[in-house]
Amino acid sequence: MIELATLGGGCYWCLEAFYQRLKGIEKVISGYAGGHVDHPTVNRVYEGDTGHAEVVQLSFDPSVITYREILEVFFVMHDPTTLNRQGNDIGDEYRSVIFYHSDEQKAIAEDMMANFAAPLYPDPVVTQLEPVPTFWEADETMQDYYNRNPYAGYCQVVIDPKIQKLRKQFADKLV
């Protein structure tokens, strides 16, 4: 049975690129969640007044990759201690957030925040944990961005080093 996970950890292009490379991830969709504007567009979200976070929604096979393993990648691959920021991306659309789909996901996320993420970082984890709201899919130009634009500056400077980190730390989970 396929399950869903919805995560925000900065730019959705980074998260999308990581999760597309993991065994058991069936589909990755970039989009927005957690705000108060229906049908947000990328330009509207970047204005900073929608309340939405950039997120990815993952369809995954829990018999191949568990929710706990998905969160391990999440907490290693982004900095969950910077409020509304990842690197040079600043604003609440770049916040660290887990939108849980079930009480079980909530419990796993709480445990992972306290017992996995917190010991990894010297600063407090500021990842928000909220029930999943409406997920709004980003437009087609925002989907599969890294794979379609591997030579774009952002991809080479920001995403490529993170992909190298993913390959090093999670080699056993890669497709």
pLDDT per position as a tens digit, 118-127:
999 999 999 9
Per-residue pLDDT, 88:
81
| pLDDT, tens only, 40-63 | 999 999 888 999 999 999 999 999
The mean pLDDT of 3-21, rounded to a whole number, is 95
Q: What is this structure's pTM?
A: 0.94
Residue 84 in contact with residue 78, Cβ under 8 Å? no
Q: Is the pLDDT of residue 107 over 90?
A: yes
Per-residue pLDDT, 76:
94
Per-residue pLDDT, 89:
83
Per-residue pLDDT, 90:
86
Per-residue pLDDT, 36:
95
The mean pLDDT of 129-135, rounded to a whole number, is 97
The mean pLDDT of 137-164, rounded to a whole number, is 93
Residue 67 in contact with residue 3, Cβ under 8 Å? yes
Assigned token pair, 84 = 């509304």
Q: How many CB atoms lie within 10 A of CB 161?
A: 10
Does the domain at 3-173 match CATH 3.40.30.10? Answer given as no
Catalytically annotated residues: 11
What residue spans define the domains of the chain?
A: 3-173
The mean pLDDT of 83-107, rounded to a whole number, is 93
Q: Parallel, antiparallel, or unpaired: how do β-strands 25-33 and 53-60 relate?
A: antiparallel
Per-residue pLDDT, 87:
80
Q: Is the pLDDT of residue 93 over 90?
A: yes
pLDDT averaged over the chain?
Answer: 95
What is the three-class DSSP state of 109? helix
Per-residue pLDDT, 163:
93
